[in-house]
Chains A and B, each alone.
Chain A
Amino acid sequence: MDDDRDTGWFRAVYARHYADVVRYGLRRLDGTAAAEELAQEVFLVAWRRRWDVPSQALPWLYGVARRLLANHWRAQRAAPPPGELREHPAADRHDGVTDLLDVRAALIRLSDDDQEILRLVAWEQLAVGEAALVLGCGVTAAKVRLHRARRRLAELLAGTSTPARVGGTR
């Protein structure tokens, strides 16, 4: 199948991963329409660059989504906010469980790098090696980043926080 990147191959990739990419957008954007629009843009890039799409396509697709979002923020001339900031959806979707809200409130106080690797592993359910592919770093580096991010999140939840690092430069 890899050697025949025709519309049949593309339809299969789309059917397999479209919902995953929409959910990636739902976790980072405000609303289903924007998430679906993002997913269409991601798959448009995937079609145009289909010879570059690896057989394990999902981390690659997440990587494209990440880049498209970064470009969109620039076009909006707004510095991206420090994290997942919606107040209501968690309560709506999880019956207002206070502990869960605490976790999300702590998450947004972490640096952007910490947030992203935690989201990729906990929400996108990627293995560390797959998250490394999305982030463009080595597996060892991703493990270190995940370990540190997890520790910082735990410290925030325990109320013994070390200062959160703020994104915006790198």
Chain B
Amino acid sequence: MTERILDQLTATDPARGVPVAPGDVEALLRRASHDVTSYDLDGPARGRRRVLLAAAAIVAVGAVTGTTAVLLRGSPLPAPVPAVPAPSVATGCVDRLADGAGAAPYDTSRGAYEYLRTSSMSGGTVQMQNGKFANVTYMVERSTWTAADGSRRVRTVTQQPTYPDETSRTFFRDNPGRLPELGTTMEDQPAGEVSRQEIPAADPAAMADALYRPRENGPSQAVNGVTGLVQARVLDLPHRAALLRFLARTDGVACAGEQTDPSGRTGVVVTAPVGAGPQPSPGDSGAQSVLVDPATGDVLAAGYTDDTGTIWSAVFLERGFTDERPSA
């Protein structure tokens, strides 16, 4: 049956046969002519082209999101307008976090497996027959035990869904196939199946080079890069400090007071505005945020902040090295 699956799937392509109007390349080139940043417009020396650069950036982003599918309704992607980036925000606070970072309990852990446990929010939206939307959210807890060769065991626990309204609850009750499977699953992934993110050198410039890509996304990309790294790897103190100094040197990154994450841990919120790159989006798009433990420099959680507060969409619950792992 698996042989026919791709054929069946191909036949369901929602874009098959959909006519596409020719785009307006001249409008795009006119827009690009207003760029306020050079974007490295000089031709490269031979051999300099890095054809996989974009793919590497994708890996970093994928590590943050873990997602590929989307439903975007009612709001096409915002069209950036040429403008001068906002002035820098004072970053002394983040430097002080780096200065004050000390040992974390897991710094002394040893073992054959790199262990990470993360809780994150997931969910979905479905358009119902009447054109309205049913929404569902649920928490997913994911634990990974990664060996030196990159092979890993993954335990995923999907918790009971929650609904914002009775209409959504009714819809998903009547359409259980729209919900994820609940409960615990375990999977072994052999070496090479999943790319393992490399830890940059314990140097702010190396962190920036590895994590702040692409720059045109602005400072929120720096925070996203940090989130992706701490979600994928266990960092020792020198690397945690370098990570914070990288953020401290990133234009637009600032502290936003103390907060407590959903697991009850309190830290300092470090934010970077969304849509504030060389081609900034109009209006206030909020900020990507991380919660930093001032005692250890550890990133405790990652989320999104706006004037209504912060939603911590990923909470980094445990990390370290161990020889123990559950059986498959």
Binding site for B on A (CB under 8 A): 3, 5, 7, 10-11, 14-15, 18-19, 22-24, 26-34, 36-41, 43-45, 47-49, 51-54, 60, 63-64, 66-90, 93-94, 97, 99-101, 103-105, 107-109, 112-113, 115-116, 118-119, 121-123, 125, 133-138, 140-141, 144-145, 150-151, 153-154, 157-158, 161-170
Contact = CB atoms under 8 A, between A and B. Distances in A.
B67 A70 contact: yes
A33 B72 CA distance: 11
B256 interface: no
Given A14-B28, A82-B69, A168-B140, A48 B216 contact: yes
Interface of B: 1-2, 5-6, 8-18, 20-25, 27-29, 31-32, 35, 39-40, 43-44, 48-59, 61-79, 118, 120-129, 137-138, 140, 142, 156, 158, 177-178, 180-181, 183, 185, 187, 190, 192-195, 214, 216-217, 220-221, 224, 231-232, 274-275, 285-286, 288, 304, 306, 311, 313-314
A131 B15 CA distance: 18
A71 B217 contact: yes
Interface residues of chain A: helix, strand, loop or mixed (majority): helix
A27 B17 CA distance: 12
A99 B57 CA distance: 37
Contacts of B56: 136
A166 B15 contact: no
A168 B66 contact: yes
A163 B185 CA distance: 7
B275 to A, nearest CB: 7
Contact of B124 (A43, A45, A81, A119): A81
